[in-house]
Amino acid sequence: MIDLHSHLDLYPNALELLERVGRENRFTLVVTTSPRAWLATTQVFRRYNNIKVALGLHPEVADKKFNEFDLLLSSIHKTNFIGEVGIDGSARNLNTLEKQELIFKSTIRECEKVGGRVISIHSRDAVSKVLTTIRTYENCGIPILHWFSGSVEELTTAIKMGCYFSINPVMIRGEKGRELISRIPCNLILPESDGPFVKMAGRPIMPWEAMNICSDLSRIWRMPIESVKDMIEENFKKLLQGMSGFSR
Ligand code: MN
């Protein structure tokens, strides 16, 4: 099992789950919402080689955590994985848009400066802003658009730019999500849970359930489920190979 976007540190029973995630998942990318959370979580999860903790500053807390902005920038050289970062242009976050843009742009610029990073990106109602920044710093590394919900036009641009898309079981069961996913080339898709925020059957989704997208993908792609799983494995392998190209 693979999960490229989990908030494992935010489950109420995170420590109990940790061992099972380490056992059941071949790889889990735990994204964090602030640099201080990254520091703490990295300490707690360090025994697990197959669980990586990404350095993040979530756009929804851009204002609240703005005092950690320097810590974010000065830590980017210490890790291969950045997230959750991005821009949220939805109505309730418009008042912090300037700060969000400053944080995101500076982060992506720093990723380029240090030779490239894997970056898990939030782009709700702000896809064109996010893509413009990625294009400005085209050597920033490997962008993964998490839970993409933009327009078909924006999707086409992101595909042309070679972005990856991490998709979760709830997204793929919605009509809009499914429609978008059907337009994404198979080789750009990666699984995510986005738990504990994503709920299935009234409870938080687990990191080992991210791969549940494979049954839906098998219908969308008209491909046997085993081939879908192979494809996802292949995409993940390519992602790791891409990381080896980061200059240090
Ligand atoms: Mn998230």
- Phi and psi (nearest 5°) for 3? -140, 115
Angle between helices 35-45 and 14-24 (to 10 degrees): 60
Looking at 3.10.180.10, 2.40.10.10, 3.90.120.10, 3.20.20.140, the CATH number of the domain 2-243 comes to 3.20.20.140
Give the pLDDT mean for 212-216. Answer: 97
How many angstroms is it from 195 CA to the middle of ligand 1?
8
Residues, CB-to-ion distance under 5 Å, ligand 1: 84, 194
Q: In this prediction, what percent of the chain has a pLDDT beyond 70?
A: 100
Residues 26-83 pLDDT 10s = 999 999 999 999 999 999 999 999 999 999 999 999 999 999 999 999 999 999 999 9
The residue extents of the domains of the chain are 2-243
Assess contact for 48 and 24: CB atoms under 8 A.
Answer: no
Q: pTM (2 decimals)?
A: 0.97
Instruction: Give the pLDDT of residue 247.
Output: 75
How many angstroms is it from 6 CA to the middle of ligand 1?
7
- Residue 145: other Cβ atoms inside 10 A: 29
How many angstroms is it from 7 CA to the middle of ligand 1?
7
How many angstroms is it from 134 CA to the middle of ligand 1?
19
Is 137's pLDDT higher than 80?
yes
**pLDDT band at residue 248 using 50, 70 and 90 as cut-offs:** low
Give the pLDDT mean for 133-157. Answer: 98
Give the pLDDT mean for 173-177. Answer: 95
